[in-house]
Amino acid sequence: MSYAEYVKHYFTLPDCIIFLVLALVLLAVVYAVFYIYSKGRFKNPRKMQHEFFSLTERFYELIFSGGSIIGFMAAYYLINRFVTAGPFFVFWSSYKDYLLLVFMIISILLNTFCDHVLVKLKRLNKSEMASIRLTGMLYMIIIFCYIKFIYEDNNYDMFITYFLTLMIGRFVYFDASFKDFLNCIKDAAKNIPIMIMGLTFLGLLCLRGYSSAYLLKHNGVITNIFFCHLYIIVAIFILHFVVEAYFSKRKPKKTKKKPIENNEIFIDEVTNLEDF
């Protein structure tokens, strides 16, 4: 299969439309779960909306961070598969281990683009962002375990080594205290239900893709997982603005105080004089 045929397969109609609709439906279910949870926790509409958007933005960041890492792995895999001759092949064969580090930096930039430009995450502070990214690393480790032990593919061992090195370097640095590390772990543990929802979302897409032959096993598991993340990101981009517009119309209106008229002030003054 040539590269053109490889890419064309993922954009054939109506399969890609059905897959996108499925991603939109599953994302709507995620929104519904977050909405029910937020409404049950807070009676105040403002607090409920803040909690809802905080949960959705954590889910977004989980998908963005996971998708960006899977993306550079898929790019590395595709280059190894389809670039088999020519000057670039010679260059790639000589320096691909170093270029993998460049790809990792690009994935970080891609993650920043997703959560600062594509969909701005406005309700997460730095500690919340750090905690969900740590949860995202656990999310990726679970995916790697699936590839290694269930899918039984040993072609990605080098990726796993690089990723674990990146994970350790992310949280072990000279000015970090053990207490800060424990606090980050504690905050990340609160995001486990969101991670489970993300893995379930991904698993249902993969199940549909493999059962319908839209995702082909011989195309590489890492590429298939990347395309699932890509569909989820597109669904987020579409429905995020719909949800924002829905809640903007439901903002609680501020009650205006009725102005006190002059005659009411005069009556009050007369009453006070009579009491005197």
pLDDT at 63: 94
Residue 266 has pLDDT above 50, yes or no: no
Residue 8 DSSP class: H
Higher pLDDT pick, 106 / 262:
106
Q: pLDDT tens, 10-40?
A: 888 888 999 999 999 999 999 999 999 999 9
Instruction: Give me the DSSP letters along 100-161.
Output: HHHHHHHHHHHHHHIIIIIS---S--HHHHHHHHHHHHHHHHHHHHIIIIIS---TTHHHHH
Specify if 30 maps to a domain: yes
Specify if 198 maps to a domain: yes
- State both tokens at 3: 């590269």
Specify if 168 maps to a domain: yes
Higher pLDDT pick, 64 / 8:
64
Specify if 251 maps to a domain: no
- The percentage of residues in the chain with a pLDDT greater than 90, rounded to a whole number, is 26
Work out the mean pLDDT of the chain and round it to a whole number: 80
pLDDT at 273: 40
Higher pLDDT pick, 201 / 88:
201
Specify if 151 maps to a domain: yes
Specify if 54 maps to a domain: yes
- Residues contacting residue 153 through CB under 8 Å, at least 6 positions apart: 147, 221
Q: Identify the CA nearest to 202 among candidates 224, 180, 234.
A: 224
Q: pLDDT tens, 166-205?
A: 665 555 554 455 666 677 778 788 899 999 999 999 999 9
Domain that holds residue 13: 3-241
Domain count, the chain: 1
What's the burial of 198, exposed, middle or buried (CB within 10 Å: 0-12/13-18/19+)?
Answer: buried
Q: pLDDT tens, 214-249?
A: 888 777 788 889 999 999 999 999 999 888 888 877
Higher pLDDT pick, 9 / 259:
9
pLDDT at 255: 46
Specify if 66 maps to a domain: yes
Specify if 113 maps to a domain: yes
- State both tokens at 45: 């509409």
> Predicted confidence band at 92 (pLDDT cuts at 50, 70, 90)?
confident
Q: pLDDT tens, 128-137?
A: 887 888 888 8
